[in-house]
Structure 1
Amino acid sequence: MKCLYEVLEIERSADEGTIRTAYRKLALRWHPDKNQADRALAEERFKDIQNAYEILCDAHERSWYDKHRESILRSGERHQTGSTAAPAAQRPDDEVDLYRYFS
């Protein structure tokens, strides 16, 4: 999993206005209707941008993410390096299921 701040291309200290501006800029750039040549990639990026914005624009969820950010990112690194950890269905912090913990 990529850091949500990196997804929105912002600093961790960004305020609400900066987050909103970054979201709007990236949502326009990666909207699937504007990227017909590689629609699948655009849909994936657009979804990631939306998820990052939904979490970071909510003060409570952003606080939770900030507190757990390092362990979330480490979990994603295990997936990318081919760790022999337990199967995905047995890992409670699996990156695929992360967004379900946010409202």
Structure 2
Amino acid sequence: MHAQHIIIEITQCWAWRTPYPRVAAVLFKLFFIKPDQGAYTSCFAAASPLVKADPDKYKGQYIRPVGRIVAKNPNADKVNLAEELWETTETFLEGLGLYKPTERWP
């Protein structure tokens, strides 16, 4: 699924720290979406009658807002990048004390 640009409270707070806070706030509203709107694509994938009616059409596909199947980036199939992301995520979470390695990348 597409990682959307979601405007959250901290993003809005950041807008007010810029030299032109009102302009930044307006631009953020133009280019970002609210969290509830950001959930639409996930909800579509999880609960849409369209997906239920034709699961093979959506299986393994890259879905953009809302419910559009688009071509994925060729890097999405590169195992070495997947392993690097996995290891980087583990290291980051270990550093925060949120993860203890019990299993490694398959």
Normalised-by-shorter TM-score class: under 0.3
Name the one with the larger helix percent. Answer: 1
Name the one with the larger strand percent. Answer: 2
Q: Report which structure shows greater RCO (CA 8 Å, sep ≥6).
A: 1
Q: Whose Rg is larger?
A: 2
Q: Normalising by structure 2, what TM-score?
A: 0.27
